[in-house]
Chains A and B, each alone.
Chain A
Amino acid sequence: MADLNDLTRMSASDLATKLSSGDVSSVEATQAHLDRIAAVDDKVHAFLHVSADALANAKRIDERRAAGESLGELAGVPVAVKDVLCTIDMPTTAGSKILEGWVPPYDATPVAKLRAAGLIPLGKTNMDEFAMGSSTEHSAYGPTHNPWDLDRIPGGSGGGSAAAVSAFEAPLALGSDTGGSIRQPASVTGSVGVKPTYGGVSRYGAIALASSLDQVGPVSRTVLDSALLHDVIGGWDPRDSTSLNEQWPSFAAAARAGATAESLKGVRVGVIKQLDSPGFQAGVSQRFHEALQLLTDFGAEIVEVDAPHFEYAVEAYYLILPAEASSNLAKFDSVRFGLRVTPEGGGTVEDVMAATREAGFGDEVKRRIILGTYALSAGYYDAYYGSAQKVRTLIQRDFAAAFEKADVLVSPSAPTTAFKLGEKLEDPMAMYLNDVTTIPANLAGIPGMGLPMGLAPEDGLPTGFQIMAPARGDARLYEVGATLERLLEQQWGHTLPSQVPSLG
């Protein structure tokens, strides 16, 4: 039994209460998490960098609180930051050798908002190189290990953020989700993660993978904690022309309402036929249908919805993403930042560029850049990239029709539990198909949440439940998610993250 006073076991919300009441200082909370990182991260490898300034920043928050300053709800709470987000005081590599040691000259907007709200950045978390992957095995700095079974993948690309929260190295983390990089890691590590509506959180300072798909979002162990973090990082940013200029409701209020809801009467929950596949792992399907039964018993109306074009989603995604990535990654040219490799005997700037990119990019990045270059090349553009963009329209239409019949749409967050490290590394297409449940939301720009729905009976590993809402309807995710979380925890008699092996 874990020590109830162990500061690393608390939710961010509970820790925030203890901080504001003065029971605990931010220095104590930060030190506890740094100690936990020192104790377990050689096994988990969730972090690429641990902040040298965390304790000094925590001390400053304690001093401001002692001086009677009014601080944000999460002030003093530690947070881990995915290495795709620029941090002015820590190296930012996006998991790539081409950016090894690079310290950006500015903070990403979500990071700046964390700091302004008084949260304490603990360090930078591991990820697949430039967020290309579903396992963190494509990190140039070695894979992250799943805290539930160290021989298995923690998901990706944000495996570091998910592993950090599920191994109790941080109560909160930031992630980014281009095709499931927040929700799939949440699924396989028994944690919570949210991809907001496209434009809901600024992408300024998030190293771009695919600009029309990328979205920054919260990672945590509870639905309320993700909501609290989303409230901090969200909102319009004039520095991101795709950020939505509108007022968002309090997601924490939505989560609290959901956690205390007396019934789900009147809520229509749509099960997407194409994402309730007989091809999914048996224990995943079983837990998914048990969760649906819980929702039904609590008053929700379950309806089946058809999304016939979802079967083309992965294929469209793996044309759109490489096309956008090949263009975005052209900036790594050995001139303004990052690595420079001069070929033997010298050469023109172009030769230097080609040698640098050969040495600095890993296999998956090269694969996708070449694929994207192909998809965009004259003669193939219409057949590949153009067709993929049309599929995007068809998928948006499928969602629009489905949301006529349902208030939220649901599916398993991932088709399987965590697979073994190395298992899919040599078969890129098998790795890509793992994202079948999460990709449609990115193509349509709608918000999605992943939360734990229990352990699969056959392997004892976490499974995830995905909830999707119409664009701008993020609050619905938190409401329904918090209700389901409560119902599941009442049934289990404990939280799911509390069951992770101690690693200690």
Chain B
Amino acid sequence: MTDTNPGAITSEVVSHLASLARIALTADEIEKLTGELGAIVDSVAKVSEVATDDVPATSHPIPLSNVFRADVPGVTLTTEQALAGAPEHDGSRFAVSAILGEEQ
């Protein structure tokens, strides 16, 4: 794969992927990952050699149809249990910083 390939992994691509994945990567990490991901993607791209149109995709190892449970209330976590591991809460709700930035 060369730099002219539209699928090439550049530092801009990695930086964009990191923002999609909500990870504030450092510049050093972006540089290192760009090289590593390029090598990995070059290698795994081999799958397209045999993935022809006549082969159906498999998403799940054992075929299953949809699974429903009875529509009756079950045992659930209490509010206290649900909040017990939260970094911050007000006793009944999870607490977070502003959802929207100032410019919005």
Contact = CB atoms under 8 A, between A and B. Distances in A.
B18 to A, nearest CB: 6
Contact of A338 (B45, B67, B85): B85
B39 to A, nearest CB: 6
A357 B60 CA distance: 29
Chain B interface size, under 10 / 10 to 19 / 20 to 34 / 35 or more: 35 or more
Contact of B46 (A198, A315, A335, A369): A315
B97 A346 contact: yes
Contact of B51 (A355, A391, A446): A391
A233 B47 CA distance: 36
Contacts of A367: 33, 36-37, 40
Contacts of B101: 348
B31 to A, nearest CB: 13
A241 B67 contact: yes
B99 interface: yes
Contact of B97 (A316, A342, A383, A392): A342
A312 B49 contact: yes
A347 interface: yes
Given A337-B85, A393-B56, A348 B97 contact: yes
Interface in B34-70: 36-37, 39-41, 43-52, 55-62, 64, 67, 69
Interface residues of A, number: 76
B40 to A, nearest CB: 6
A387 interface: yes
A366 interface: yes
Contact of B62 (A198, A238, A374, A389): A198
A47 B72 CA distance: 40
Nearest to B100: A348
B61 A444 contact: yes
Contacts of B52: 390
A102 B44 contact: no
Given A212-B61, A370-B21, A312 B97 contact: no
B22 A350 contact: yes
Interface string A464-488: 0000000100000000000000000
A487 to B, nearest CB: 32
Contact of B40 (A213, A238, A318, A366): A318
A471 B33 CA distance: 38
Interface in A282-318: 309, 312, 315-316, 318
Nearest to A215: B61
A333 B22 contact: yes
Interface in A345-377: 346-355, 357-358, 361, 363, 366-367, 369-371, 373-374, 377
A104 B85 contact: yes
Nearest to A311: B46
Given A374-B37, A429-B40, A337 B86 contact: yes
A312 B46 contact: yes
Contacts of A353: 22
Interface in A427-455: 428-429, 432, 442-446
B81 interface: yes
B84 interface: yes
A106 B40 CA distance: 38
Contact of A429 (B43, B60, B96): B43
B61 A443 contact: yes
Interface of B: 7, 9, 13-14, 17-26, 29, 33, 36-37, 39-41, 43-52, 55-62, 64, 67, 69, 77, 81-82, 84-88, 94, 96-101
29 contacts: A105-B82, A198-B61, A199-B64, A242-B64, A312-B50, A315-B47, A335-B86, A336-B94, A340-B87, A340-B88, A343-B24, A347-B97, A348-B99, A350-B22, A351-B97, A353-B22, A354-B24, A357-B22, A367-B37, A374-B13, A377-B20, A383-B7, A384-B44, A388-B47, A389-B58, A391-B50, A393-B57, A428-B36, A442-B61
Given A358-B24, A369-B23, 10 more contacts: A106-B77, A198-B62, A315-B46, A335-B87, A339-B87, A340-B87, A353-B22, A369-B21, A389-B59, A471-B61
Interface of A: 102-106, 197-199, 212-213, 238, 241-242, 244, 309, 312, 315-316, 318-319, 326, 330, 333-340, 342-343, 346-355, 357-358, 361, 363, 366-367, 369-371, 373-374, 377, 380, 383-384, 386-394, 396, 428-429, 432, 442-446, 471
